[in-house]
Amino acid sequence: MLLDKNEMPIVAMEFMNDVHAQDIEIINALYELVLAYESEPTQENKKALNSQYNLWFEHTIEHFRGEEVLMVEKSFPPYPMHKGEHDKALAVMDDVYRAFEATSDIVMMKQYISQTVPQWFVQHIQSMDTVTAMFFKSGLSPCSMR
| Residues near Fe ion, by CB under 5 A | 67, 128-129
Nearer to Fe ion, 96 or 128 (CB): 128
Q: Which residue is nearest to Fe ion (CB)?
A: 129
CB of 122 to Fe ion, least distance (A): 11
3-class SS of residue 9:
coil
Nearer to Fe ion, 72 or 108 (CB): 72
CB of 39 to Fe ion, least distance (A): 32
Nearer to Fe ion, 37 or 67 (CB): 67
CB of 124 to Fe ion, least distance (A): 6
CB of 96 to Fe ion, least distance (A): 19
Cβ-count burial 108-146 (b if 16+ within 10 Å, e if not):
ebeebbbeebeebbeebbeebbbbbbbbbeeeebeeeee
Q: How far apart, in whole angstroms, are the C-alpha atoms of residue 124 and residue 26?
A: 17
Nearer to Fe ion, 67 or 113 (CB): 67
Closest CA to 50 of 97, 112, 107, 102: 97
CB 8 within 8 A of CB 20: yes
